[in-house]
Amino acid sequence: MKVLRKNGEIVEVNFEQQEGKKAFWHTSAHVLAQAVKRLYPQTKCAIGPAIENGFYYDFEFDFSFSEEHLKAIETEMRKIVKESLSLQVYEKSKEEALSFMDNAGEKYKIELIQRLNDAEQISFYKQGEYEEFCAGPHISNVCQIKAIKLLSVAGAYWRGNEKNKMLTRIYGISFPKAAQLEEYLHMVEEAKARDHRKLGKELGIFTIFDQGPGLPVFLPKGMILKNLLIDYWRKIHRREGYVEISTPIMLERSLWETSGHWDFYRDAMYSLKVEDDDYAIKPMSCPGGMLVYKLEPRSYKELPMRMGELGLVHRNEKSGTLHGLMRVRSFTQDDAHIFMREDQVMDEIQGVMRLIDEVYQKFGFSYEIELSTRPEHSIGSDEDWQLATEALEKAVQGMGKSYTVNEGDGAFYGPKLDFHIKDSIGRTWQCGTIQLDFQLPQRFDIDYIGADGEKHRPIMLHRVVFGSIERFIGILLEHYAGKFPAWIAPVQVKVLPVSDKYNDYAKRVEGALKENDVRVEVDVRNEKLGYKIREARMDKVPYMIIVGENEKTNMSVSVRQRDAELDKQDMGEMSLEQVVNLILNL
């Protein structure tokens, strides 16, 4: 696939690469705008970026937009693709760009150009009669788009501000092969069936009240699942030499000024007054961890010091971005901070990588690694950033792992490795991260006494494995389609008496299983057995135990399993001891 960059260079890029997808979907957005302007010339164009999956474009129509308009636009887009229009890139001065957009009547484009530097040369991309100022990159010819589909329409305020005009946002997807579109649309349908919001409600995992948007509430079964993940997290972190701490949910403004969050992250933070002093509710736990480190003098012999924290954090997410457990305003971050000497950096990065690999394998996830470099707004010297970035690169290479580079997307205090897991239907989710930080140790003036008796500055790793426990649960719900592996299923066994006559025996079976820490429920409702079995299947319980006259007489149970082919689900009659061993061995 040929990509046309802003400098006029044409390069060969794979669609699967970040630059390839961005160029492909950004060009598709331009094709969408071109089709709209052909069909409805009075329409005003706003913005049309490539996004994680596809693209969108915001328009101001002078009529009520309908499904028929969407179909007409999609048909026109296909016509444009067949015209095999090559893209050209050229530059205009700010004055020329403003004049061009003024003649075109594009008020939103004018507003965007006015915000640019007066001396800046502005790049324009042109395909046929359509041209737009844009930084690119784009594919070199629209004929490379072999499959295109407009997916949905939504309202969107101009510049995300509810005080501005509501525009019409059209979402779409496109691919270089028709088969890829078919595969994607199948995945979308599969994703709808796996929607964690729907499954979370049906399985009694979580809810979100109207009185608390973005603030998830875990129900009893959800708390079992959450605690199982936390227990597992604690077990492997104890093994790896971490100590666990807990820092306050809110701290004084001066702390966030020292850390840099007040300047670089304030829009995402909730703040409040406490006796006339400014406080902030923590969006992350690292500043509190710095205070814990500073409590007493540290020796080089104590390093590396690994501090873990299951911190409840809050972030000021816009209401339009909230989505079940995936994007929330309150979540539990499985944070940890490692304070280390310079000679320990490589071992510690790779140690965290091995831990992340172990956890993701446990849940059946493959993953990809992305190295994010220095962002535009950041702190620290170029030398520190270069050293930190090279250390992360060498650590990944030393583990024999491949990675891609995401330019300019690091944290404001350091570069990072992001771990994108792939679920059972091929979607990727960013979960784990490792951030190498030279800056906060300097800003907080922390040190340790070295072997030479002098003070030295430690280096710091910020890292998470799950990322957000709430979000990880949402991912697991969709990955397994609600059919959790038995070891983390909130209910592992459901006991189903054939009739009321056997309720007492069913209760005895339940008690015996509970004594052995098996998570079990018994269904003593006055319903037919077939109904109870269907209900247990709907609840996606891994094992069903059926008890009747034969089982009561033999002090046994009949077992059915969820995760087997239909003709192999009936596991036959077993003793209670055998059932307990079956579950515990999982």
Q: Which of 435, 357, 436 is nearest to 399 (CA)?
A: 357
Q: Exactly one of 127, 144, 333, 435 is catalytic; name it.
A: 333
Sequential DSSP letters for 273-322: EETTEEEEE-SSSHHHHHHHHTTS--BGGG-SEEEEEEEEEE----GGG-
Residue found under tokens 């052909």: 38
Query: Is the CB of residue 136 less than 8 Å from the CB of residue 23?
Result: yes
How many C-alpha atoms does 293 have within 13 Å on its Cβ side?
30
Q: Give the Cα separation of 76 and 80 in Å (integer).
A: 6
Q: Exactly one of 334, 335, 423, 437 is catalytic; name it.
A: 335
Active site residue 314: no
Active site residue 333: yes
Q: Which of 97, 39, 34 is nearest to 68 (CA)?
A: 39
Helix, strand, or coil (residue 105) = coil
Q: Which of 466, 480, 479, 470 is nearest to 217 (CA)?
A: 470
Q: Exactly one of 286, 306, 427, 463 is catalytic; name it.
A: 286
Query: Is the CB of residue 300 less than 8 Å from the CB of residue 336?
Result: no
Active site residue 26: no
Q: Give the Cα separation of 466 and 473 in Å (integer).
A: 9
Q: Give the Cα separation of 30 and 174 in Å (integer).
A: 12
Q: How many helices (H) and strands (E) does the chain have?
A: 18, 31
Q: Exactly one of 69, 196, 327, 462 is catalytic; name it.
A: 462
Helix, strand, or coil (residue 451) = coil
Helix (H) or strand (E) holding 148: strand 147-157
Active site residue 134: no
Helix, strand, or coil (residue 580) = helix
Listed in sequence order, the DSSP H helices in 89-131 are 94-104, 107-114
Q: Which residues of 526-536 are buried (b: 16+ CB within 10 A; e: fewer)?
A: eeeeeebbeeb
Written as six digits, the tokens of 312 are 């409840």
Q: Exactly one of 37, 261, 416, 471 is catalytic; name it.
A: 416
Active site residue 186: no
Q: Exactly one of 21, 22, 109, 337 is catalytic; name it.
A: 337
Give the N- to C-terminal CA distance of the chain in Å, as an integer. Answer: 47
Active site residue 337: yes
N residues, the chain:
586
Q: Exactly one of 315, 427, 494, 560 is catalytic; name it.
A: 315
Instruction: Return the number of other C-beta atoms located less than 10 Å from residue 174's C-beta.
Output: 25
Active site residue 315: yes
Query: Which residues are marked as active site?
Result: 286, 315, 333, 335, 337, 416, 462
